[in-house]
Amino acid sequence: MSKEIKPGDVYVGEDERKAPDTTNIVLKGPVVDPGHVVEITAMYVIDITTANKTLRLGFDRGGSLYWFKRQAAGSEAYGIQDKGKFYLGPGERPAAMVESPTANDVCTLYVRGVYVS
């Protein structure tokens, strides 16, 4: 029998920024609180303004960024997603990167998960 998920069990993050120039933009979700573990069930990063950017999904662990998915420029994609499950522990947070955005591009990270402890 599966556990009933209550509103307080849901981990939700969104980070949206407008690119000031062509410098890479790193977007991050909320930090996992001490004593908790989050099962991430979906992540999506999108540049809603311009297609054909290199996009990355990953996480921030102690200030170091780790990437597990990359969509290279040339794909004509506006965004990438990952619906595989992975876990984040205390102090960690989901992260995404939009490489070399066009100035004024709107870049957004959406992330959803469930607190498992």
Residue 95 lies in a domain: yes
Note the pLDDT of residue 7: 72
Strand partners, 28: 95
| Helix (H/G/I), strand (E/B), else coil: 72 | coil
Residue 22 lies in a domain: yes
Query: In this structure, what token pair is assigned to residue 35?
Result: 């004593």
Note the pLDDT of residue 29: 97
Residue 66 lies in a domain: yes
Residue 28 lies in a domain: yes
Residue 52 lies in a domain: yes
pTM of this prediction exceeds 0.85: yes
pLDDT tens string 11-69: 999 999 999 999 999 999 999 999 999 999 999 999 988 887 899 999 999 999 999 99
Residue 106 lies in a domain: yes
The CATH number assigned to the domain holding 29 equals 2.60.120.40
Tell me the C-alpha distance between 113 and 23, whole Å. Answer: 29
Question: Hey, which bits of 62-104 come out as E strands?
Answer: 64-71, 79-82, 86-88, 92-99
pLDDT tens string 74-91: 777 788 999 888 999 999
Residues in the chain: 117
Q: State the total domains in the chain.
A: 1
Residue 46 lies in a domain: yes
Note the pLDDT of residue 2: 65
Residue 4 lies in a domain: no
